[in-house]
Structure 1
Amino acid sequence: MEDLPSHLISEILSSGRLGPADLARVEATCRMFRSGGHVAFTGGEFASLVEYAAYRICQNHEMFASLSQEAKVALLERCGGIWKKALRFLKSVEGSSGTVETASGNMQVSTGRYHTLLIHDSSVYSCGSSLCGVLGHGQDITQCGSFRRVNLPSLSQVVNISASHNHTAFVMQTGEVFSCGDNSSYCCGHGEAGRTIFKPTRIEALDGIPCKQVATGLSFTVILTGNGQVYTCGSNSHGQLGHGDTHDRSEPKLISLFEGLGKVVQVAAGASYTFAVTDDGVVHSFGSCTNFCLGHGDQHDELLPRAIQHFCRRNTHIVRVSAGDEHAVALDSSGYVYTWGRGYCGALGHGDETDRTSPEPLTNLKNKIAVQVCARKRKTFVLTDEGSAYAFGWMGFGSLGFPDKGTSDKVMKPMFLESLRSHYISQISTGLYHTVAVTRKGLVFGFGDNERGQLGHEWMRGCLKPTEIVVQRGIDDTGTTNGNVAIAAQSG
């Protein structure tokens, strides 16, 4: 290795195929990668060849390239001037709304009201209640107490999932979108209403339009295409579809307003409202403004996408946003967190239960670099770049992961999830009364209510602290043996 020209080694390291963990392993295994003195072209500017490779990968990263020069400098300063740490931030944020790389393969978790979806190496598993077809296993299965593989087209790989109250959506590697569940409000996008769709069915209206992300709200669906356009369908009682009216849409329709606003990089769906983040860091919100969820300082519904001026006036570049039932949380390009909406049970994390009409910085986490935010009914989770999980809000059914309630069932400020200290948490998703987390090693942990099997634990009704979930070899919907090994091995 030491005989190779340094520029060739640099090209290999910065090819984009290596992640932060890979670069760290390379640096740890060979002395030549730890000393900048061995690399003439670094000019002493970088501490090591690996650090230079991380710098080059960051420069080519789409999210980093979209930042202003000021935002780039701010991020690097937050990371202590270490490009490897900046790269870890970018990769972690990127995976927060899709699949994350783990030692067991690519994984994503999405929790609905009483069910859970899990991607593992392009296959999808589901568990919980399926009274309206949300599990995708067919009409005869109304509940699964353990994870069971969903039968999707064998030649297509699943790259993104979203679970909501009564319907589910899947994005394939081909860009196709499938959906299933209660379609009484047209939310499944198949052009007709009134019947439940029990197995994943392709949305034909999107044929020829490659998609990359879906977000399912209460009776509506938001779809993000590969080129940054947004389509919506379903119930539109509050303008949550973003078309300037309150007419329902039976098939996905393009939100034309975004044509002049920029490329959308992430979407999120709340109960009856929608967020869309554009590549310039602007958050656009529309739909119901009950509980001030839209972040505009009032409670007027918005029928068209409207930029949240609180962020625009401060030149705050938002990279991800999460829409809860009654509140919202956002993450900026430096890893700072903001919350707004209903403060009941401490869901906003500011130490009180006061509502916030517009975004407010979460000062209790200002010394942490956040990489994922997740909001649902009355509770919020934040993951940091160190793999730590913080939670606040309502502790009902143990869905915050704290086994000891003490004298209150409310956590008013971000609290470190001590029970997961020994694990690096890569992704987390919380439903109505349950929560599921994925670790960097590919382990899956669940906590909270399991009355309907939504945690995948057949042998317990619920758990107050994170308990490992094991997905064993099983039978899929066609009766074929599932060749996948257990997703999570038993931990010691």
Structure 2
Amino acid sequence: MAPTPPSMTHLSATAMVPRWPLRFAPRRRLLDTSSLPDTKNQPTRVERGERKTKLQKYASKQQRPLLSLLHARTSSLLGGSSLSVACSLLSLSSPPWRMDATTSTGASSSLPLHLIIDDALALVSPLQQSFQRSQRHCFGDSAPGEFPLAANPSIVLHVLTSCNLEPDDLAHLEASSILLFLSNATCSFFRKPANFPPDFQLSMSELAALDMCQKRAIFKPMTQQEREMFKQRCGGSWKLVLRFIMAGEACCRREKSQAIAGPGHSIAVTTSGAVYTFGSNSSGQLGHGSLEEEWRPRIIRSLQGIRIIQAAAGAGRTMLVSDAGRVYAFGKDSFGEVEYAAQGSRVVTTPQMVESLKDIYIVQAAIGNFFTAVLSREGCVYTFSWGNDMKLGHQTEPNDVQPHLLAGPLENIPVVQIAAGYCYLLALACQPSGMSVYSVGCGLGGKLGHGSRTDEKYPRLIEQFQALNIQPVVVAAGAWHAAVVGKDGRVCTWGWGRYGCLGHGNEECESVPKVVESLVNVRAVHVATGDYTTFVVSDKGDVYSFGCGESSSLGHNTITEGNNRHTNVLSPELVTSLKRTKERVAQISLTNSIYWNAHTFALTDSGKLYAFGAGDKGQLGTELVAQQSERGTPERVDINLS
């Protein structure tokens, strides 16, 4: 049961910080005035009036909403602090008051400036105003202590849900009524029922928490009964539900290493969020500010202070996603023109934030040959495209610099994972009936899984999984074939079957998902697909591979003696060379491009990285013997990702 916030009726201007329960303790930054402007040289009343008039004219001219203008103005004044912005938008007053020593030790004893929302656009109120005038201005002449926005609470709700507040922030608002900087004034505005749907009995802060929960991908597909059960398990508070969901999101984002075997170049992300790159660098895709190849892992120094949680690699291009939901991109010219509009430059050699995505919290990126897709925290898929081969459901010019929401059924269904092939996209979606897979793009070879080779302009549900009684939990998109791991550990493959990459013992295409029968006694937990190659990792850490043996990327060391031919593997075989490392493999990454010789990474539970396959550009991160361009057995890369 959530602790009941303490009553605020006993508080005064000289004792504003009670002893909260730990989980609801107000943060030190909430009451820190160090980021506020200096009070010296405050503008005169005439100057303030002129500034107010100019802003009103500007807002009218540009037809910008009042809240947007206030948010931008307040963000610049208060340094972007979420709660500071929200509180300023909610009419913080500024009479003198004393801070508790546990709240701030170096801050000024009074707030120098405040912003308020009134019937029109009000701006700055200086410290020299008397306490009585501040009270009249903030709470109204006729009813001191009454919050003026009570007449239009929808504005308050909009502010609370737009400023990225955390559960603790909402709890602090409800518990302390942060507006109570005036003595002898009590306010239950954030605690009393707000009379808004879907529950008219919820308080303003509870409604804000519920609204933010409803934007989460994991929450959207829940039934009403499941949501109520979830709420009761979390102490009956939507703020605690939001905290639980955010904690789960943080666990998924943090302390997970990753290795990406890109087309000719490689990316390694440590658990601390540092990024190492190596291999081909003809387009600046390594991010080191030059075009020189790197044969050993080298850290990207310009990302210092930014924690990366996910990476994606394409032909001559790289994308990185930070734990703050920002996307950074660098590399090839077409990628630069589309993703971050590099003016006058054909290559970008250092990470640049994708400005068009800065207002969307991104958790995953995927790169195909002619498109890029990103997944938001809310479970929405956005795409860019270039060239004429892939538009993914949005009617735009071939080269479009703006992200577009993937049109079709996925607009209303939350997605939890995306995977990009050469010219198609897979999306793992979460619905009340369970997990499902949608596909969109080029249908050549049957890789969309709908029983035909027809292209799909909009995402379409792959219905075969229901017939197989398989609930997908992991999707992988190779260049021309795809794979899924089910909740029960079964593996399905479909698409172009060349070189045996589907694992069915032949090279025939499959236009609908088909269970790999030779793996029915193996409980799979991970699958990776590349250019006609497939790897499966079992729950015991064993690795199986099948498909094209070119470049020794299968790990079987299948070079035939005498004529140096590579052998294809039509059915899954245990990669014994990885077994000999005596390490438990957690993740496999394969080159997913038809234009580059393939290489493979195996990442272990302990953070060790093993590489094999093509290494002619340094993409293995290990030295090769003279005149050798590939490695048939795994070799340890000199880097620890844990």
- Does TM, normalized by the shorter one, top 0.5? yes
User: RMSD over aligned Cα, in angstroms?
Assistant: 2.7
- Structure 2: which 5+ residue stretches go unaligned? 1-216, 224-247, 592-596
- 1:323-362 Cα shifts (integer Å, max 9, x gaps): 1111111112211111111111110000111111111111
Query: Which residue is 1:483 aligned to?
Result: none
* 1:213-232 equivalent positions in 2, closer than 5 A: 213-232=364-383
Quote how far apart the aligned CAs of 1:155 are: 2.4
Within the candidate set 613, 616, 619, 1:448 is matched to 613
Query: Which residue is 1:430 aligned to?
Result: 590
The secondary structure found in structure 2 opposite 1:386 is coil
- Structure 1: which 5+ residue stretches go unaligned? 1-61, 69-93, 472-485
One-letter code of the match for 1:370?
A
Within the candidate set 76, 92, 117, 2:267 is matched to 117
Q: Distance in 1 between matches of 2:470 and 2:277?
A: 37
Moved more, 454-463 or 182-191: 182-191
One-letter code of the match for 1:133?
G
Q: Distance in 1 between matches of 2:276 and 2:259?
A: 10
**Residue 321 of structure 2 contacts residue 328 of structure 2 at CA under 8 Å; is this kept in 1?**
yes
- 1:286-333 Cα shifts (integer Å, max 9, x gaps): 111122111112222111111112224445321221111111111122
Query: Identity percentage over the alignment?
Result: 31
- Normalized per residue, which structure has more strand? 1
One-letter code of the match for 2:266?
T
**Residue 221 of structure 1 contacts residue 234 of structure 1 at CA under 8 Å; is this kept in 2?**
yes
Q: Distance in 2 between matches of 1:364 and 1:446?
A: 26
**Residue 547 of structure 2 contacts residue 570 of structure 2 at CA under 8 Å; is this kept in 1?**
yes
* 1:315-330 equivalent positions in 2, closer than 5 A: 315-330=469-484
The secondary structure found in structure 2 opposite 1:441 is coil
One-letter code of the match for 1:448?
G
The secondary structure found in structure 2 opposite 1:284 is strand
Quote how far apart the aligned CAs of 1:131 are: 0.4
Within the candidate set 344, 347, 364, 2:501 is matched to 347
Query: Which residue is 1:182 aligned to?
Result: 332
Larger radius of gyration: 2
Query: Which residue is 1:133 aligned to?
Result: 284
Q: Distance in 2 between matches of 1:308 and 1:331?
A: 14
TM-score by length of 2: 0.56
- Are 1:211 and 2:362 matched, yes or no? yes
TM-score by length of 1: 0.72
Query: Which residue is 2:554 aligned to?
Result: 400
Query: Which residue is 2:513 aligned to?
Result: 359
Quote how far apart the aligned CAs of 1:412 are: 0.6
The secondary structure found in structure 2 opposite 1:205 is helix
Cα separation, partners in 2 of 1:108 and 1:371, compared to 1, 3 Å = same
Quote how far apart the aligned CAs of 1:185 are: 5.5
**Residue 257 of structure 2 contacts residue 641 of structure 2 at CA under 8 Å; is this kept in 1?**
no
Quote how far apart the aligned CAs of 1:240 are: 5.0
**Residue 190 of structure 1 contacts residue 250 of structure 1 at CA under 8 Å; is this kept in 2?**
yes
Q: Distance in 2 between matches of 1:176 and 1:288?
A: 29
Quote how far apart the aligned CAs of 1:259 are: 5.3
- Are 1:412 and 2:570 matched, yes or no? yes
Query: Which residue is 1:465 aligned to?
Result: 633
Moved more, 327-336 or 402-411: 402-411
- Number of residue equivalences: 381
Cα separation, partners in 2 of 1:142 and 1:291, compared to 1, 3 Å = farther
Quote how far apart the aligned CAs of 1:228 are: 0.4
Q: Distance in 1 between matches of 2:350 and 2:278?
A: 14
One-letter code of the match for 1:309?
E
Cα separation, partners in 2 of 1:388 and 1:167, compared to 1, 3 Å = same
Moved more, 397-406 or 353-362: 397-406
**Residue 296 of structure 1 contacts residue 358 of structure 1 at CA under 8 Å; is this kept in 2?**
yes
Query: Which residue is 2:491 aligned to?
Result: 337
The secondary structure found in structure 2 opposite 1:470 is strand
Q: Distance in 1 between matches of 2:359 and 2:335?
A: 25
One-letter code of the match for 1:249?
D
Q: Distance in 1 between matches of 2:337 and 2:454?
A: 24
Q: After the TM superposition, which segments of 4 or more aligned residues of structure 1 sit over 6 Å from their partners? A: 62-68
Moved more, 395-404 or 458-467: 458-467
* 1:268-287 equivalent positions in 2, closer than 5 A: 268-280=419-431, 281-287=435-441
One-letter code of the match for 1:426?
A
